[in-house]
Every structure is written in structure tokens, then in C-alpha cells.
């Protein structure tokens, strides 16, 4: 467990009163807790100031304090992650179509109105980037250098993918369903971003094509007018500005499935940094995680307060329990779980520390209904995916 890491400067926004940034925002910055962690805070269209990883393509991290403010992450604070820079900046929901083709009895071209005429489903689900927390890997790995804010929880409304597939009629021999959105590369040679799910996963009860997020249209940067929602699974599959659904009779071998977004097929999906030649599989379900949200690492609780609050989630079994420790994980006591918004949602929890005044290493550990729990030691994989170790925070009680 990494107890001595640099103190997290929680969006204190060491304000530099800089000139206007295109878009009219005022520049501020934060320092994420790893080398080369300086980031500007900029308000992109339909967004409040977020932590900019790269402006082009837009990759914006949610400041962690937002997660203390409610079980749902507001749309204007929801993180943003695109792969390719050619993103439509104007999308017409009235003319947008989703082409359903491939191994189906009748190809479809679905409008948003067509979706509106189908049975609506609503569910809360966490969307987490595969590489959330990559910057905290040790040894470091190249990639999108996120801290813990490449995730969010929203209420999604849409229609079941299964209902769409049934309407088209999936033919015998179908193996996978592939998804494409409107994002494309700057050069034609760049592999188009497409993702595929095995047919049984695609036909799951809770996989939906969502046209609303927290009761509102999706922000353009989160995939207006429709995106795929694969609850419990990492966000790489949640294709934004969804425009094509293709039923395939073969396993997708495009770059984004065959080469990228793969995890070691080893115990805990861990390997040693020196290891090579291990088998890999496509990344899939999220692992159980929990965080403290009301105080940052290195922070001080309000005078006299010993109250901790936070969030927990997993890959869809739901949270069974959360424990907190004030002695760096030597002993644990149960936290109280708050309202249940469903097995794919953030689950809020609170606890009271049983400590005198002083500085303590607080740790938080969640367990899922499937029995999986968080480990003290962070595992490692070469792409920096699915970090899920127990989080620790140096906290002062005053």
C-alpha cells in the first residue's frame, strides 16, 4: 500500500488569472498526485471546469470533490473520454439513425422517434474508463494519465438492445454484436473505433441504448443523441453517438478488440512488469472499488468532526458491505450503507472514525455481493487497466 504518496491537492485550483481560453473559461489548474500531473481546469461546452487531460480529442476528468455531492454525477461534471479527434460538433437528433445490419433477418435504420416508441428502461449505472487511475500505477505506464476521476454514475434511460436485436431478428450462427459511433480518425489509416460484445452479453437484461442521462439529453461530449450502456462493464464498450449495430458471425478482430483494451488472462489479471508472452482477453467487468469523498488524502476534517463519507461500486453484483480503518488497514469496522439505487450504481456509505485528535491513515474496503473484495496491494498490468486496490488517505482529526 502506498502510504507516503504526495498529498492530493483537491482541486484547490491554484488560480492563475490567465487570459480567456477559447470558449470563454478562465484558466485554473490542479496537480494530480503523480509525476507530470499538472492539468488545467477548463469549462468545455456543456461542462463546468473539468481537469483537462488532452483538449483534442477531449479527455476531461471529474474533480473528485464532485463525488461527495450526490449519488449521481451531474451531466456537466461527468468525465469525457474520446479516442479519435474527428468528433462531430453538431449532431441532429431528428436525422440521426442507427443502422442495424449483418446477420439479421431484416436490416433496420432506427430513428430516435423509433426508439421513443419502444418500451423504455431506466437504470442507474457507473461508467468507468478502463484506464481510470492509470497515473497511480507503479511502475508507471504510458497511456491516458488519469487520476481517480475518469468515472461517473448516472441514471440512464433508453431501450433494451435485446429489443432492437429481436426487432431485426438475429439469424442462427451469430457470435458477436459490433458497435460503431460517429467518431472517426483524422487520417483514414487510423483504425475506426468499434467495439464488440458476445451475443449473450449483448442480449443481457440491462444492456441499453440510452437517449437520456440523469433525465436530460446526453451532453454532446458524452455521446448525444444516443450511446450504448453496458452496466457493470468498463466504459470502452459504451460507444458514444451510436450509429451502427452489426451482428457478426465471427469474433471481432479489429484493433480496438484484438490489440487494445486487453488484460492478462492470469490470476487477478496481474503480471510482473518484467513478464512477457502471457495470454490476454478483452477487458470486461469492473472490479469492486470504494473511495472516501468528503476528505482528500492529506486533508483535515472540519473541527470536531470524525465523519467519513464515500462511494463504492462493483461490476454489477452490488455492494454487500463497506469497511473503514483508521490504522492503515490493520483493523476494520463496518460503515453504514446508504440508499440502494441498484446493483450497478454508486452506493453511498458513511462512517464515524473512533479516534482521538491526530493524524491517521484511513483506508476503505468494499465487498460485493459476489464476495469479491479489494486487495491491499495494487496489481499491475502493462496497459494500466482496472486499478482497484484499497485506497488510503492521510486524514487529520482536529
Q: Point out which residues bind other proteins (CB under 8 A).
A: 21-23, 25, 34-37, 39-40, 42, 44-46, 52-58, 84-85, 87, 89-94, 112-113, 115-116, 120, 122, 135, 140-142, 145, 157, 185-191, 211-212, 214-218, 220-221, 224-226, 255, 259
Nearest distance from C-beta of residue 13 to other proteins, angstroms: 17
The secondary structure of 230-285 as a DSSP string is -TTB-GGGS-SSEEEEEEESS---SHHHHTSSEEESSGGG---TT--S--EEE--B
Residue 45: name its binding partner from ligand HEC, other proteins, none (Cβ under 5 to 8 Å by kind): other proteins
**Residue 134, CA distances (Å) to 139, 146, 162, 290, 322 in order:** 10, 6, 33, 16, 24
Judged by beta carbon, residue 45 or residue 358, the one nearer other proteins is 45
Nearest distance from C-beta of residue 286 to other proteins, angstroms: 24
Judged by beta carbon, residue 220 or residue 296, the one nearer other proteins is 220
- Residues of span 87-146 touching ligand HEC by CB under 6 A: 142-143
Judged by beta carbon, residue 183 or residue 206, the one nearer ligand HEC is 183
Q: Which three cell numbers stand for residue 300?
A: 483535515
Judged by beta carbon, residue 145 or residue 314, the one nearer ligand HEC is 145
Measuring CA to CA, which residue among 128, 127, 125 is closest to residue 385? 128
Q: Which residue is nearest to ligand HEC (CB)?
A: 83
Nearest distance from C-beta of residue 239 to ligand HEC, angstroms: 14
Cα–Cα distance, 142 to 134 (Å, whole number)? 9
Q: Which three cell numbers stand for residue 185?
A: 480518425
Q: Which three cell numbers stand for residue 388?
A: 482497484
Q: Does 274 engage in binding with ligand HEC (CB under 6 A)?
A: no
Judged by beta carbon, residue 12 or residue 86, the one nearer ligand HEC is 86
From 182-190, 210-218, 288-296, 334-342, give the range in contact with ligand HEC by CB under 6 A. Answer: 182-190
Measuring CA to CA, which residue among 45, 38, 40 is closest to residue 19? 40
Q: Does 186 engage in binding with ligand HEC (CB under 6 A)?
A: yes
From 60-68, 118-126, 172-180, 186-194, give the range in contact with ligand HEC by CB under 6 A. Answer: 186-194
Judged by beta carbon, residue 113 or residue 142, the one nearer ligand HEC is 142
Nearest distance from C-beta of residue 59 to other proteins, angstroms: 9
What count of other Cβ atoms lies within 10 Å of the Cβ of residue 213? 26
List Cβ<8 Å contacts ≥24 apart for 379-382: 379/268, 379/269, 379/270, 380/137, 380/138, 380/139, 380/270, 380/271, 380/272, 380/273, 381/263, 381/264, 381/269, 381/270, 381/271, 382/141, 382/271, 382/273
Write the burial class of residue 11 (CB in 10 Å: 0-12 exposed, 13-18 middle, 19+ buried): buried
Q: Does 16 engage in binding with ligand HEC (CB under 6 A)?
A: no
Residues in the chain: 398
Q: Does 376 engage in binding with ligand HEC (CB under 6 A)?
A: no
Write the burial class of residue 279 (CB in 10 Å: 0-12 exposed, 13-18 middle, 19+ buried): exposed
Scored b (16 or more CB within 10 A) or e, 232-260 reads: bbbbbbbbbbbbbbbbbeeebebebbeeb
Nearest distance from C-beta of residue 372 to other proteins, angstroms: 29
Nearest distance from C-beta of residue 25 to other proteins, angstroms: 8
Nearest distance from C-beta of residue 223 to ligand HEC, angstroms: 15
Q: Does 187 engage in binding with ligand HEC (CB under 6 A)?
A: yes
Nearest distance from C-beta of residue 359 to ligand HEC, angstroms: 37
Q: Which residues bind ligand HEC (CB under 6 A)?
A: 83-84, 142-143, 186-187, 190
Amino acid at each position: 500500500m502506498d502510504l507516503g504518496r504526495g498529498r492530493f491537492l483537491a482541486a484547490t485550483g491554484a488560480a492563475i488569472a490567465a487570459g480567456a481560453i477559447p470558449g470563454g473559461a478562465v484558466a485554473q489548474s490542479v496537480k494530480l498526485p503523480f509525476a507530470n500531473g499538472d492539468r488545467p481546469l477548463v469549462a468545455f461546452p456543456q461542462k463546468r471546469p473539468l481537469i483537462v487531460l488532452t483538449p483534442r480529442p477531449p479527455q476531461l476528468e471529474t474533480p473528485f470533490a464532485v463525488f461527495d455531492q450526490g449519488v449521481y454525477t451531474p451531466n456537466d461534471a461527468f468525465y469525457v473520454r474520446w479516442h479519435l479527434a474527428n468528433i462531430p460538433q453538431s449532431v441532429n437528433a431528428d436525422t440521426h439513425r442507427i443502422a442495424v445490419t449483418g446477420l439479421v433477418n431484416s436490416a433496420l435504420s432506427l430513428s430516435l422517434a423509433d426508439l421513443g416508441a419502444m418500451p423504455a428502461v431506466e437504470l442507474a449505472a457507473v461508467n468507468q474508463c478502463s484506464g481510470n487511475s492509470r497515473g497511480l500505477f507503479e511502475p508507471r505506464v504510458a497511456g491516458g494519465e488519469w487520476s481517480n476521476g475518469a468515472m461517473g454514475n448516472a441514471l440512464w434511460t433508453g431501450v433494451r438492445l435485446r429489443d432492437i436485436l429481436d426487432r431485426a431478428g438475429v439469424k442462427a450462427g451469430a457470435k458477436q454484436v459490433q458497435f460503431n459511433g460517429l467518431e472517426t480518425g483524422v487520417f483514414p489509416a487510423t483504425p475506426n473505433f468499434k467495439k464488440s460484445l458476445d451475443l449473450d452479453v449483448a442480449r443481457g437484461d440491462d444492456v441499453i441504448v440510452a437517449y437520456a442521462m440523469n433525465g436530460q439529453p446526453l451532453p454532446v461530449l458524452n455521446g448525444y443523441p444516443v450511446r450504448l450502456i453496458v452496466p457493470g462493464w468498463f466504459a470502452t464498450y459504451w460507444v458514444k453517438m451510436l450509429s451502427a449495430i452489426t451482428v457478426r458471425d465471427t469474433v471481432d478482430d479489429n484493433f480496438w478488440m484484438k490489440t487494445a483494451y486487453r488484460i492478462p488472462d492470469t490470476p487477478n489479471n496481474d503480471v510482473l512488469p518484467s513478464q512477457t508472452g502471457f495470454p490476454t482477453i478483452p477487458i470486461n467487468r469492473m472490479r469492486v472499488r470504494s473511495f472516501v469523498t468528503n476528505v482528500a488524502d492529506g486533508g483535515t476534517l472540519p473541527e470536531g468532526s470524525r465523519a467519513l463519507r464515500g462511494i463504492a461500486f462493483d461490476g454489477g453484483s452490488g455492494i454487500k458491505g463497506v469497511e473503514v480503518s483508521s490504522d492503515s488497514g490493520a483493523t476494520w469496522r463496518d460503515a453504514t450503507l446508504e440508499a440502494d439505487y441498484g446493483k450497478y450504481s454508486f452506493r453511498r456509505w458513511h462512517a464515524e472514525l473512533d479516534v482521538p485528535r491526530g493524524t491517521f491513515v484511513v483506508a476503505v474496503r468494499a465487498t460485493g455481493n459476489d464476495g469479491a473484495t479489494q486487495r491491499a496491494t495494487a496489481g499491475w498490468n502493462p496497459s494500466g487497466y482496472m486499478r482497484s486496490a484499497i485506497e488510503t488517505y492521510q486524514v487529520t482529526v482536529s
